[in-house]
C-alpha cells in the first residue's frame, strides 16, 4: 500500500492525498474524510503513514516536563533538544506544572500540532493515579519517558537505577565506619521513593536499622534546609555521614555543619545526588552520584530513531549510575 | 466594525467568519479569502481581531531562548510560563541554539502555529547583524524582548541596567580601597559589553585606568576558569577584588584564591552577577548583583497584557538592578 494505491482507491490525485497528509485546508471535507478513512482502514495513523512515505511530516517532537527551571530538567531538556536537532527534528517544549489536568491539556495540544513523537521528562509522569493521558498519547505517537516507567503499549522508558546507586552509597559509607547516616529528601516521587528504599535496604543489609530521626524530609529552599540540619544538631542527634536525594540538600547540610565547626569530610562525609553544576560550586566540592542525565536523554532519542526505523526496541532500559568523587567523601 | 459588520460585508453568516478566524478548514478557499481581505482592509490581523472579539484564539504564546540549560534562561522561561499560565495563556517554548537560521525557522514555526505573541529571552536577540526575522515576527504579533533591545515597531523591550550595576560595583569596591579589580567575563554579547563598559566607566570616574591584564575572558567551564585565575596568581599579577559577569566565574575565582591561601573577603572581595541559586551554594556565600530576572519577566507579561488590552504602552523599559550582600563582599 503506497500513496498511489490510496489515491487510486479514493479516486483522487496523489497531490490531493499529499495535501490531506500535510493538513492543507484546500481539500473538501468530503474528500478529506474519504482519504483519512482509507488510511485508517490500512491501520496507519496519518503521521506514521506520511513518515513511511518520506512525505513532509512536521519533523517535530513534543517535550513535556513539569518545571524547566529545575536544574535537572533544564539539563535534560537541553540534551534532548540537541539530540533531536542533530537528527533533523524540531522540539516543542511544554512545561506543564504539576497539575494532572494541565498535563492532559498539553498532551492534547501536542497531538493537535501533529508531533511525530512525545518525550516525557521526569519520574513524575509515572506516579499519577490516572495515566490514561499517557495511554492516549502513546496510542497516537511513540512516547519516550526519561527517568520514569509507564507500563503502556508504544511507550519506551529509560531510567537510571537510583535505588542501586543509593544502596551503594550506604555500603560505601558503612565500610568507612559511618553507621549513623542522615538522609535528606524532599518529595515522595517515584524517583524519591526509589532512592529512599535504596538507603533503607543498604542499612538493612549491613545489619543496621534505619532511624526515623535520621530520615529528614525538607523543602527545596536553601534557608529551610540549613535550618532543618541546624535543628538536628541542636537536638544533639548524632550522625557521621549525610546522604541527600539532591545536590542542593547535601550542600546546605555542609554549610550547616561547617557553621558549627564540623570539618568535611574529616568529621562528617557528605554525598549528593545528580552531579549537577552545583557540585563544582560547593566548597568543599561535592561528591555526588552521576544520574546519567545526558546518557538517559541521548539513549531515549536513539530508541526513538529505532522506533521510527521500524526496528524491534526494548520497552524498558535501566542504566546504572556511578559516583563522582570530589572532596566531601572519598572511598 | 465588529463580526456582524464583516459577515454583512462578505455576505456570509457569523459562524463562517468565526470559522475563518479560528482557522477551521470547513470554509471554501474563495469565501475565506474574501473574509480575510475585508479584515485586512480594516487594518486588523486576524489574530488581534479575533482576540478583540473575544473569540477563541489559540491563547498561546511562543517563547524563544537560545539555550534552556543556561541557569538564567531556565529561570526566565519558568517565570514567563507561570505568568502566562496565570493569565490563561499556554506557552510553546523553542530553544533555538545560537544560529541565526534556526531562530528564523522557529519564528516562522511559531507564527504558523498562530501564537498570539512572541517572547524573546536574552540579549542575544539584539545583536544580530540581521534582525529582519524579528521585524517579521513583530509585523504579525506583539513581540516582547526580555533583557534585550530591538528597535522595531510592535516590539517591547524590558531590560535591566547592567551597565549601571557594574559601574556601581566598581564605585563600592574603590570606596573600600580596592583599586586593582580583576574582571571576568565570557562572551561579548550586548549584555556582556554593557557590563564590561560599566566596569571601565566606573574605574575611569574614580581616576583609575583599566588594565588589560586584569580583564580576563574565560570559557564557561568550571575547570578552565579555575586554571585561568591560578595562572594570573602564578604570574604575580596583583588584584584586591574580583568582579564577574556571571556567578559561576566569581565562585570559581574564589576556589582558585582559597586554594592558594587567600581569605575571602578579608584579603580579596568578590562580587558575582545574576544572584542565581549558585550564590547560596558557594562557600563563602556569594555577594551578587540581582539582575531582576523575575521582575523583568513579570513586567514583560504585564506589558503584553496592556498591549492586548489596547492600552498605550512604552516600548522600552529599563529596571535597575541591586546588590545582594552575602559573605564575599560587604559595603
Residue A170 to residue A37: CA distance in whole angstroms: 58
Residue A49: its pLDDT value, please? 43
Q: What is the largest CA-CA distance in chain B?
A: 84
A93 touches chain B (CB under 8 A): yes
Cα B281–chain centre separation: 24
Is B78 in contact with A85 (Cβ distance < 8 A)? no
Residue whose C-alpha is closest to residue B246's, from B319, B326, B135, B166: B166
Specify the pairing of strand A287-290 against strand A322-324.
Answer: antiparallel
As to burial, measured by CB atoms within 10 angstroms (0-12 exposed, 13-18 middle, 19+ buried), residue A135 is: middle
Own/partner contacts of A227-234, CB < 8 Å, gap of 24 or more, are: A227/A256, A228/A184, A229/A182, A229/A184, A229/A253, A229/A256, A229/A257, A230/A256, A230/A259, A230/A260, A232/A182, A233/A257, A233/A260
Q: Does B277 touch chain A (CB under 8 A)?
A: yes
Inter-chain residue contact A67 with B75, CB threshold 8 Å? no
- Beta carbons of A252 and A229 less than 8 angstroms apart: yes
Measuring CA to CA, which residue among B197, B223, B228 is closest to residue B213? B228
Closest residue, chain B, to A113 (C-alpha): B113
pLDDT at B83: 93
d(CA A252, CA A225): 6
Is the alpha carbon torsion for B187, B191, B193, B198 positive or negative?
negative
pLDDT given for residue B250 in this prediction: 98
Contact B85 A91 (CB under 8 A): no
* Whole-angstrom distance, CA of residue B31 vs CA of residue A133: 38
Range of lowest pLDDT (A80-94, B162-176, B230-244, B288-302): A80-94
B281 contacts on A by Cβ (under 8 Å): 222, 248, 251-252, 278, 281-282
Interface test with A, best of B113, B280, B327 (most A CBs within 10 A): B280
Of A97, A116, A237, A117, which is closest to residue A181 (Cα–Cα)? A237
pLDDT at A6: 79
**Chain B residue with Cα closest to A82:** B97
Q: What percent of chain A has pLDDT over 90?
A: 59
CB A84 within 8 A of CB A121: no
| Contacting residues of A for B280, CB less than 8 Å apart | 222, 252
For residue B196, what is the enclosing H or E element?
Answer: helix B190-205
Mean pLDDT, all residues of chain A: 88
Tell me which of B109 and B247 has the higher pLDDT. B247
Which of A25, A69, A97 has the CB atom closest to B74's CB atom?
Answer: A69
Please tell me the least confidently modeled range out of A64-73, B211-220, B239-248, B270-279.
A64-73
Mean pLDDT for B208-220 is 95
CA A208/CA B328 separation, integer angstroms: 42
Is the per-residue pLDDT at B329 higher than 90? Answer: yes
pTM for this prediction = 0.81
pLDDT, mean over chain B: 88
- At residue A218, the pLDDT reads 95
The 10 Å CB-count burial string (b at 16+, else e) for B146-168 is: bbbbbebebbbbbbbbbbbbbbb
pLDDT given at position A4? 67
Searching chain A, which residue's CA lies closest to the CA of residue B86? A97
Candidate from B67, B82, B113 with C-beta closest to A78: B67
| A206 to chain B, closest Cα gap in Å | 32
List chain A residues with CB under 8 Å of B91.
Answer: 94-95
Cis omega (within 30 of 0) for bond into B205: no
Weakly modelled stretches of chain A, pLDDT under 70: 1-4, 14, 18, 21-25, 42-58, 128
Looking at chain A, how many residues does it have?
331
Would you call A77 and B92 a contact, using CB atoms and an 8 Å cutoff? no
Instruction: Please answer yes or no on whether A281 and B280 come within 8 Å at the CB atom.
Output: no
A94 touches chain B (CB under 8 A): yes
Considering only alpha carbons, which residue of chain B is nearest residue A251?
A: B281
Tens of pLDDT along B77-132? 999 988 998 898 888 888 887 777 778 888 988 888 778 999 999 888 876 677 88
Q: Please give the Cα distance from B241 to B222 (Å, whole number).
A: 19
Mark yes or no for CB contact B92/A90 under 8 Å: no
Confidence (pLDDT) at B2: 61
**pLDDT tens profile B18-42:** 677 666 667 888 888 888 888 777 6
Amino acid at each position: 500500500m503506497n500513496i498511489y494505491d490510496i489515491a487510486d482507491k479514493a479516486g483522487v490525485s496523489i497531490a490531493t492525498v499529499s495535501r490531506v497528509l500535510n493538513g492543507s485546508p484546500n481539500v473538501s471535507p468530503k474528500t478529506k474524510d474519504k482519504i483519512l478513512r482509507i488510511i485508517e482502514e490500512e491501520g496507519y495513523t496519518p503521521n506514521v503513514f506520511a513518515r513511511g512515505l518520506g512525505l513532509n511530516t512536521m519533523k517535530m517532537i513534543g517535550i513535556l516536563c513539569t518545571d524547566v527551571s529545575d536544574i535537572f530538567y533544564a539539563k535534560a531538556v537541553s540534551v534532548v533538544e540537541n539530540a533531536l536537532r542533530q537528527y533533523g527534528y524540531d522540539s516543542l517544549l511544554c512545561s506543564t506544572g504539576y497539575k494532572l489536568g494541565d498535563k492532559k491539556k498539553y498532551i492534547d495540544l501536542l497531538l493537535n500540532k501533529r508531533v511525530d513523537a512525545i518525550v516525557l521528562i521526569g519520574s513524575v509522569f509515572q506516579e499519577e493515579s490516572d495515566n490514561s493521558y499517557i495511554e492516549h498519547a502513546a496510542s497516537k505517537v511513540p512516547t519516550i519517558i526519561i527517568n520514569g516507567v509507564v507500563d503502556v503499549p508504544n511507550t519506551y522508558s529509560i531510567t537510571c537505577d537510583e535505588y542501586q546507586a543509593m544502596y551503594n552509597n550506604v555500603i560505601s559509607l558503612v565500610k568507612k565506619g559511618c553507621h549513623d547516616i542522615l538522609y535528606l529528601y524532599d518529595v515522595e516521587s517515584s524517583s524519591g521513593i526509589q532512592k529512599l528504599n535504596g538507603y533503607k535496604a543498604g542499612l538493612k543489609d549491613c545489619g543496621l536499622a534505619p532511624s526515623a530521626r535520621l530520615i529528614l524530609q525538607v523543602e527545596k529552599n536553601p534557608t529551610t534546609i540549613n535550618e532543618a540540619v541546624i535543628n538536628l544538631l541542636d537536638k544533639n542527634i548524632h550522625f557521621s555521614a549525610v546522604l541527600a536525594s539532591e545536590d542542593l540538600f547535601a550542600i546546605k547540610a555542609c554549610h550547616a555543619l561547617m557553621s558549627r565547626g564540623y570539618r568535611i569530610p574529616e568529621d562528617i562525609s557528605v554525598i549528593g545526588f545528580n552531579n549537577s553544576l552545583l557540585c563544582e560550586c560547593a566548597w568543599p566540592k561535592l561528591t555526588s552520584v552521576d544520574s546519567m542525565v545526558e546518557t538517559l536523554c541521548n539513549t531515549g532519542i536513539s530508541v526513538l530513531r529505532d522506533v521510527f526505523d521500524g526496528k524491534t526496541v526494548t520497552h524498558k532500559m535501566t542504566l546504572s549510575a556511578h559516583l563522582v568523587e570530589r572532596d566531601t567523601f572519598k572511598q
